[in-house]
């Protein structure tokens, strides 16, 4: 990855931050995106302190104009990973339409427009990794729009692999991952979710951010994979 540049939106926390750390440790330069300048500044200082190279700009993945403004400041990139998203999970019976539509707004359209803006600036031998989630392949009760959003992202990845070739486009689909997202939730809710997920998987545990970052770095680097979805889920989607 030395001499290469990756745009990582949502790289200030959780899975995105694990990818940032791996990429920077491999000698790559990172362009970070997140919603808070203060958080970005703290992360840029942390990366520089560890010997890495990074710059960063504020961006809101739920707002198309914000994504366009972010990429106007990016001259060139080799890799794109943009998992930064904030959404709610609501059931088919909910009348809270903002909540119901939020996964598509932030996670689907956010990644769609990030690719739209990045595509003209991507190296022909570069790669995009989209973020979905195992709930797309094996839904849980009460989360139909969220499940559909993840399936849509996987379909988008297959389609973009054709439209953007020779740029490679793949999707990573994690199961439940012990990330900062879960650590911010109440301990009781987290441990109940982790227990039920663990019972539903072949490997009997939740995943780590490092395990997802390994998969993303693999998809950045493997020159003959495109249009695939890689499940990092401990076997959750198996029947
Ligand atoms: N953790 C899991 O169990 C799991 C499982 C399957 C899929 N995923 C997917 O993985 C992605 C990241 O999850 P995570 O666990 O790493 O979460 P996380 O630790 O909460 O990290 C989310 C990151 O995204 C940024 N972000 C949030 N909303 C944003 C927005 N609207 N625009 C730009 N950046 C935004 C956050 O920074 P700021 O708050 O500073 O903006 C932060 O850097 C999500 O798309 C999620 O659906 C996670």
Q: What is the CATH number of the domain that holds 11?
A: 3.40.50.720
Report yes or no on 102 lying in a domain.
yes
What pLDDT digit, counting tens, does each position of 133-145 carry?
A: 999 999 999 999 9
The predicted structure's pLDDT at residue 1? 83
Report yes or no on 188 lying in a domain.
no
Distance from C-alpha of 126 to C-alpha of 204, rounded to nearest angstrom:
35
Q: Residue 102: CB within 6 Å of ligand 1?
A: no
Report yes or no on 190 lying in a domain.
no
The predicted structure's pLDDT at residue 79? 98
Rg (CA), the chain: 17
Report yes or no on 238 lying in a domain.
no
Report yes or no on 169 lying in a domain.
yes
Report yes or no on 9 lying in a domain.
yes
Domain count for the chain, please give it. 1
Q: Give the residues of the chain that fall short of pLDDT 50.
A: none
CA dihedral for 229, 231, 235, 237, sign (positive or negative): negative
Which of 7, 9, 11, 13 most suits a substitution to test ligand 1, by most atoms within 8 Å of the C-beta? Answer: 13
The predicted structure's pLDDT at residue 139? 94
Q: Residue 59: CB within 6 Å of ligand 1?
A: yes
Distance from C-alpha of 69 to C-alpha of 46, rounded to nearest angstrom:
25
The predicted structure's pLDDT at residue 88? 95
Q: Which domain holds residue 115?
A: 5-177+209-232
Report yes or no on 200 lying in a domain.
no
Report yes or no on 194 lying in a domain.
no
Using the structure block, give the residue that is written with the tokens 């740029």: 167
Q: Residue 207: CB within 6 Å of ligand 1?
A: no
Identify whether the C-beta of residue 153 lies closer than 8 Å to the C-beta of residue 134: no
Identify whether the C-beta of residue 154 lies closer than 8 Å to the C-beta of residue 136: yes
């Amino acid at each position: 990855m030395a001499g290469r540049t990756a745009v990582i939106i949502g790289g200030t926390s959780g899975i995105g931050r694990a990818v940032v750390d791996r990429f920077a440790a491999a000698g790559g330069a990172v362009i970070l995106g997140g919603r808070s300048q203060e958080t970005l500044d703290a992360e840029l200082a942390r990366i520089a302190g560890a010997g890495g190279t990074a710059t960063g700009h504020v961006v809101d993945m739920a707002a198309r104009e914000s994504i366009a403004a972010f990429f106007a400041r990016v001259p060139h990139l080799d890799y794109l990973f943009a998992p930064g998203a904030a959404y709610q999970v609501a059931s088919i019976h909910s009348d809270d339409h903002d909540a119901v539509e939020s996964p598509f707004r932030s996670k689907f359209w956010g990644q769609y427009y990030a690719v739209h803006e990045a595509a003209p600036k991507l190296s022909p031998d570069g790669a995009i990794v989209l973020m979905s989630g195992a709930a797309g392949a094996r839904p849980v009760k009460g989360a139909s729009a969220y499940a559909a959003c993840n399936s849509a992202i996987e379909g988008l990845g297959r389609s973009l692999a054709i439209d953007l070739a020779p740029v490679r486009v793949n999707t990573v689909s994690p199961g439940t991952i012990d990330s900062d997202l879960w650590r911010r939730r109440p301990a009781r809710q987290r441990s109940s979710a982790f227990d039920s997920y663990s019972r539903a998987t072949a490997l009997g545990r939740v995943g780590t951010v490092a395990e997802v970052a390994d998969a993303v770095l693999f998809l950045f680097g493997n020159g003959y994979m495109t249009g695939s979805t890689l499940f990092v889920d401990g076997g959750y989607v198996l029947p």
